[in-house]
Amino acid sequence: MNTVFALSGVVIKELYRRKDFYVLFVLTALITLMVGSVRFFDDDKIIRIVKEASLLLIWISALVIAVGTAARQIPAERENRTIFPLLAKPVTRAQVLLGKFAGCWFAVGLTLVVFYLFFGVVIGSREHHWPLANYFQVMWLQWSMLGIVTALVLFGSLVFAAPSSNSTICLILVIGILLLGGYLNRVAAQQPGPLGALIYGIYFVIPHLEWYDLRKFVQYDQGLVPWSYCLLATLYAALYAALLLFAAWLVFRRKALNL
């Protein structure tokens, strides 16, 4: 386990050495503050549009950071040939994979904490109340969802040739699931015969990432979702992440490391 944490520490260090996070954070902060500074009909109590813009930017930024960070981990190690000294130590391929996953996931968790702190300060200063439990639920489920995404991208980095193609395909897949995943059963019901069955099959196979999007609850002040739901959704995310990591290990354990 120490080996896994040591490897993950390297990934976290890489996150704060690179500029991706800073650029995305500054962009999110600037746009949020800009939207917040606009006064509509001279009313300074309008806040939901700021919440919506800020949460959307947080989601986009976190997704980009998760995909970008995970996609380059193993290809970069292979390209720089640092994978060989790494594996020459008493480190197994499974530990490398787990370390990379843990590093990416913790790194994304750290960025989420920073983003939501900023969100809480900006919105709290306007609303004068801090629904911390709501913020925690939104952040926790987003982090759980990003666990699945990170595992998916790590798997993709072993299957696809280049990090760019992997990132693009994974982003399209994730955004597609977020937008349409929950409605595939209705689409399937309207399709005849085998096509309907195929779509329905896809509906059951894909990880339902849309379950983790609780932005509306914060945006429209709709209170908390049941904690039992959060627990089950976390379990579901853990299972899917484990499945994808296992698939990644199956590919990685026999993969030639020479480019």
Partner 1 sequence: MKRLTSCLVLLLLFAACFSVGTLLQPQAAAWSQHGQDSVVQVLLGDGRWLLANHFFTKADVYFHSGYYPTIFDRKNPHQESHMAGHTHEAGDHDDELDFMGPPRDWIERFGRHAMITKHTHLENGQEREILPWLKIAADIDPHIVETYTVAAYWLANQLHKVPEAEQFLREGLRANPDSYEILFSLGRLYYENDHDSVRARNVWQLALRRWKDQEAAGRNPEKFGLEEISVNLARLEENERHLAKAIQYFEQAKAVSPAPQNLAQQIEDLKRQLASAPPGTQAP
The site for partner 1 (CB under 8 A) is made up of: 38, 40-43, 45-49, 141, 182-183, 185-187, 189, 203-204, 208, 210-214, 216-217, 219-222, 225-226, 229, 232-233
β partners of residue 40: 43
Q: Nearest approach, Cβ of 136 to partner 1 (angstroms)?
A: 15
Which of residues 17 and 43 has its CB atom nearest to partner 1 in the complex? Answer: 43
Query: 3-class DSSP state for residue 40?
Result: strand
- Which structure tokens are listed for 158? 């072993």
* Alpha-carbon gap, residue 52 to 54, rounded angstroms: 6
Which of residues 40 and 259 has its CB atom nearest to partner 1 in the complex? Answer: 40
* Alpha-carbon gap, residue 206 to 241, rounded angstroms: 12
Q: Nearest approach, Cβ of 137 to partner 1 (angstroms)?
A: 10
Q: Nearest approach, Cβ of 146 to partner 1 (angstroms)?
A: 16
Which of residues 190 and 258 has its CB atom nearest to partner 1 in the complex? Answer: 190
Which of residues 186 and 253 has its CB atom nearest to partner 1 in the complex? Answer: 186
Find the angle CA(22)-CA(128)-CA(31) to the nearest 5 degrees.
30
Q: Nearest approach, Cβ of 112 to partner 1 (angstroms)?
A: 18
Q: Nearest approach, Cβ of 222 to partner 1 (angstroms)?
A: 6
Q: Which residues of 63-95 are buried (b: 16+ CB within 10 A; e: fewer)?
A: bbbbbbbbbbbbbebbeeeebeebeeeebebeb
Half-sphere exposure of 34 (CA within 13 A, CB side): 8
Amino acid identity, position 251: V
Backbone torsions φ then ψ of 192, nearest 5 degrees:
-80, 150
